[in-house]
Amino acid sequence: MADVTLVNLNVVQVPAIGPYAIDILGSALEEHQHRVAVLDLSRGDDPAKAIDDHFAVEKPDLVGLTMRNNFDLYFPSFANHDRQGSFVHDHAAIIRQLKGKVSADRLVIGGVGFSTAPMEFLRYFALHYGVRGPGERIIVAMADACDAGGDLRELPFPSLQRGAHVVYDGRKLEIQRRVQRKFVDNRWYYEYGGLGNLRTSNGCGMRCAYCAEPFAKGARFARSRVDDVMAELDQLVEMGIYDVLTADSEFNMPFSYSKAILRGIIERRYPKQLRLWAYCQPSPFDEEYAALLAEAGVPGVNLGTDHTDPEMLRRLHKWYGQKEIVEVTRLCRKYGLAVMHELLFGYPGDTPEKMYRAIDFLLDCDPTVIGVTIGLGVLQGTALGERFTEERKLQSRPPGFYFKDTPFIFPVYYVDPSFKIPEIYGDLARYVGERIDRIMIPRTPGSGDTDNQLVNSERLKKQLQKEGKKGAYWYHYRKRDGGEGVAGERPAAVNGSVVAAGERQGERP
Ligand code: B12
């Protein structure tokens, strides 16, 4: 038996989100008879003291660090925050302190933020071991090796080695089957962040031109089993966690599997208060799916629509067009589902005019809310990342790309030069005008009530902490001034009331 400490490096407190990876890794380790302790640095105000306190008691054989985000992917942060919206400085300080507690040979790092540039981060943090993609199999093998007094350098997994640095690759390995939701204080996160989380699949088989998930998590949808997903949901409900956001790359993929999950939920007859909030793509989506979502108690879906211009959709490597965008919105409304479209502007070839047309097009579809982003994070392994690398061979500062420090460790953004920065933020706000009621937009500094940014958002502080709201953050946008709800939707109460753990009144019929 090895003693393993799992550390959450994420110190973002608004919104507070549970380090789900720790429940998964902890479950895998415990299943293999290892002992797990958790050091969750997101929960207190003084990470340095929390580290000292933890290691005064624990003497682990192995320490696993989870690095979820490396930056906030919000372009206005780039110019307006000293750290460009990067979380890497905080992580580096924590890792320096941890190295005073455990030998670097016993530290392993993973997580989706880390996995976007694994070798670069290992070198930057001067760590030896990292895992790209799902880490549940590999961390168990590491704990086994520690137990046997072995070397962590020679594990039987695909790996990339550069000198002292080894990145193991978990992207094609099986994901954990039985996940115990007990290592993270999920109930605390629900209380302060208003959402639980649930993974039904890992990775993504699509190749959107800017998205790091296929590269960082795996280029296929690795599915859980329906009964394992239900067993996790049972645990969350048992804890009194009634608002759960899907933690998949896309919940509606693979489509038939997603339908099977929804049928599983319907058959389970969960309490009526249970609301599963889903992250989806506009396609695949059909009438049967909309009906299943509604019956399974999904109050709303957040769609990664990106654009409505056919040429831009093609450039972004999207597989749907305007017809599907209109249809998915119609179906959601027909079945009483709130619907959010996320739009992403500034990809090569985009223009402010195309952006304005896309906003008008979508407003005509009458969704609940639209979220607008201008400027794309540039990440390795993506079409945009490759373009950056190629153009940098020809010139040191290719047009449209923004970066200050070492690319990929620190943020790189792209915005088509036809968007004038920062003037475009004011132009967009003026264009949107009174329609701001249902459109979240990018602007500086990023913490305002109508900004499309979650980190340190004043709106979230108010709605989550003062008003105790629960559920998807976008859903509450239109009620940010205490308004009366969202016209045309079913009256599923989404408010601050949390039913006590285990209270199972009001079963679905
Ligand atoms: C759901 C979600 C949200 C929800 C979370 C709600 C909740 N209560 O959980 C909301 C909407 C709140 C959100 C917010 C943000 N998010 Co978000 N989010 C996601 C999403 C879709 C799922 C996250 C998740 O839980 N996955 C499931 C867990 C289990 O997977 P995992 O963490 O990757 O863990 C596995 C492996 O990475 C590995 N692993 C992890 N840790 C470790 C450690 C060790 C030692 C080892 C060996 C392995 C290992 O094993 C794990 C198990 O298989 C991801 C994309 C994705 N598909 O993962 C984006 C994602 C993580 N989010 C992202 C971002 C940018 C943000 C925000 C910063 C956005 C913003 N500006 O506000 C905020 C940050 C908020 C915060 N407090 O930190 C980016 C991060 C990109 C980056 N390069 O840093 C992602 C990748 C989306 C994207 N495509 O860009 N998010």
Tens digits of residue pLDDT in 195-244: 999 999 999 999 999 999 999 999 999 999 999 999 999 999 999 999 99
Predicted local distance difference test score (pLDDT) of residue 163: 95
**335-361 confidence digits (pLDDT tens):** 999 999 999 999 999 999 999 999 999
Binning pLDDT at 50, 70 and 90, where does residue 506 land? Answer: very low
pLDDT of residue 27: 98
351 C-alpha to ligand 1 centroid (Å): 30
* Model confidence at 488: pLDDT above 50: no
Residue 486 confidence (pLDDT): 52
Distance, CA 411 to ligand 1 centroid (Å)? 17
- Structure tokens, 275: 């609301």
**Which tens digit of pLDDT belongs to each residue from 124-143?**
999 999 999 999 999 999 99
Amino acid symbol at 5: T
Nearest CA to ligand 1 atom 78: 12
- Joined together, the tokens standing for residue 425 give 């933020």
Q: 508 pLDDT band (50/70/90 cuts)?
A: very low
Q: How many Å lie between the centroid of ligand 1 and the Cα of residue 366?
A: 29
Q: Whose CA is nearest to atom 35 of ligand 1?
A: 134
Q: Check pLDDT > 50 for residue 497.
A: no
pLDDT tens digits for 104-130? 999 999 999 999 999 999 999 999 999
Q: Which of 105-109, 304-308, 501-505 has the lowest mean pLDDT?
A: 501-505
246 and 418 Cβ atoms separated by less than 8 Å: no
Residue among 22, 69, 340 to mutate when testing ligand 1 (max atoms within 8 A of CB): 69
Q: What's the CA-to-centroid distance between 17 and ligand 1, angstroms?
A: 9
Q: How confident is the model at residue 451 (pLDDT cuts 50, 70, 90)?
A: very high
Instruction: Determine the distance separating the centroid of ligand 1 and the alpha carbon of 49, expressed in angstroms.
Output: 25
pLDDT band at 496 (very low <50, low <70, confident <90, very high): very low
Point out the ligand 1 atom lying closest to the alpha carbon of residue 115: 37
pLDDT at 487 (0 to 100): 43
Residue 500 has pLDDT above 60, yes or no: no
pLDDT surpassing 60 at residue 57: yes
Spatial contact of 364 and 397, defined as CB atoms under 8 Å apart: no
pLDDT of residue 138: 98
> Does 111 sit in the ligand 1 pocket, CB within 6 Å?
yes
Identify the residue whose C-alpha is closest to ligand 1 atom 24. 247
CA distances from 446 to 88, 228, 294, 450, 459 (A): 19, 39, 33, 9, 11
Alpha-carbon distance of 36 to 184, in angstroms, equals 11
Q: Whole-structure pTM over 0.85, yes or no? A: yes
Cis peptide before 445 (omega within 30 of 0): yes
The contacts of residue 446 (CB under 8 Å, 6+ apart) are 74, 76, 77, 80, 81, 453, 455, 456, 457
The one-letter amino acid at 459? R
Ligand 1 within 6 A of CB of 270: no
* pLDDT band, residue 446 (cuts 50/70/90): confident
Q: What is the full DSSP assignment across 363-382?
A: HHH--SEEEEEESEE--TTS
Q: Residue 358: CB within 6 Å of ligand 1? A: no
Tell me: pLDDT of 492 over 80: no
CA 21 from centroid of its chain's CA atoms: 12
Ligand 1 proximity of 409 Cβ (cutoff 6 Å) = no
